[in-house]
A and B are shown apart, each in its own frame.
Chain A
Amino acid sequence: MKVVKNISTDDIWYENKSDREKQLEYLMLRFGKKVYQLAYYYLRDRQQAEDIYQEVFLRVYENLDRFRQESNYYTWIYRITVNLCKDYFKSAAFRKIVSAGISNDFSKSWRESNKLFEEAEGGEVFSLVLDLPKKYRVPLCLHYIDDLSVSEIANILNISENNVKVRLYRGREKLKTLLSGRNNNE
């Protein structure tokens, strides 16, 4: 497969631009796991993260022709992911669940099951990071797990770099509290 040279760092643009499926396949291979992880940082639910993955790449597929490389692929794809995750929290369905208090026990057990997964298949510290409020855990995970810089996180989350720094600082402080609580219990 031929590759056009002089394209920005992450971007490989197949010569056959009309072959959108191949492009999509490449993008899923290249960014799929990161998209899934980012969605998980937001939602803490494997199935929901898988749903978001599908939605993200369907949108990528539908908009491939319109992507003008004003940003890198990963910024574009991550932004779609963030927007879809935010949409989920704003969705009527999510509000209904919360406001109607549908099956509190059910949602509690669902959260507990997810936590059980995180502890069993990851570890306690990872699970504690995910226990942080969303506004802190997402930047923290992107920075310390995905190795993204402050400016990249600011770009993806559409917030200022200062804001990212503040969230990282507060997130670290809160994590320290959670870790010391865990150590005291042991």
Chain B
Amino acid sequence: MFASCTARIWHDGATMKLLIVEDEPKTGEYLKQGLGEAGFVVDLARDGWEGLELAKAGHYDLLILDVMLPGLNGWQVLEGVRRAGNEAPVLFLTARDQVEDRVKGLEMGADDYLAKPFAFAELLARVRSLLRRGHASLESTVLSVADLELDLLRRRATRAGQRIDLTAKEFALLELFLRRQGEVLPRSLIASQVWDMNFDSDTNVIDVAVRRLRVKIDEGYEPKLIHTVRGMGYVLEVGTGDTSA
């Protein structure tokens, strides 16, 4: 799955370099493996001092910091990095999903925050979103993939030239998919971006909403665009088989 999106995120040809500072050995290894397989070059530091040294020496596009670290903690690493004039985006990981932590991290210049346990797809989506922030391309008013077009100004969607009627939320959902083509979007991210629901609901609301959108834009057309990535979420792209059973 990751191989198929790898090609798509390197629009400028450069490979993105990430630094993970994480002391929990298993977590660190899996994050490194997962992000590596998603096409990033990943370095892993085991404690705060090592992390700070690496962050200052290497030119990383993004730092992923655990808060609770031996040596320096995540905040102190961030402080050191910022003092050294490094403005790379920083994503914090912490087991303590308390509001104070979030507020503190954002005040200190962290760019995003993820509470453990988190879904890997969620991390990947946030990493890509942070990396994209630095490379904002010219805002296009028409988004498209294959023969699907979304006109943001006129609020119109067409597939193979045929007008498709979408509700406001379906339009917003499709816009999210089109803006993040090739990325696996976890359900929690979709709920938060489209409906501003920032907590996990124990319902399959997102599945139903995506299914309805799918009926409108994919039924009767080829190729299929929206795919279920089992255990992770949904992706909009051309030509990948659905991984759902």
| Binding partners A and B | no
